[in-house]
Structure 1
Amino acid sequence: MSNVAAALEDLLTAERREREAAEQAANDLVRDRHFMAAERLADRAWSIAEQTRGCPPVPSSIWGPRC
């Protein structure tokens, strides 16, 4: 696995964990913090994939569901 692929996998795993934490949050403030952290991680993964030649696309959570 390349360094880029490993970095993308790590970012997407962290994003999934943040989304799970958001679903289980005790209140709206905590939920929003986890949700925004997830969005930042997803954006970083998308940006890396877009800048890397031959990298499979990372779907944006804004425009499409996560698989």
Structure 2
Amino acid sequence: MRLKRRSPESQLRLLRVQKNLWEKNLWELLDRRRAIDPDGRIEEVYRKVKPETHAAEILADLPDL
């Protein structure tokens, strides 16, 4: 089976798309806040965090951890 040759412009476009997808996935992973118990296990993951309400949300969840 022969591989299709791509032009340099097409290769560059493909690399940019791959880089953007990688960056998007990385930022989605880093943008989550986690509550970790004393044993080091992740107990709660907060995906959408608002600075105004996040502290109250964690304090409300502490008894359940």
Name the structure, 1 or 2, with higher relative contact order (CA <8 Å, separation 6+).
1
Q: Which has the higher strand share?
A: 2
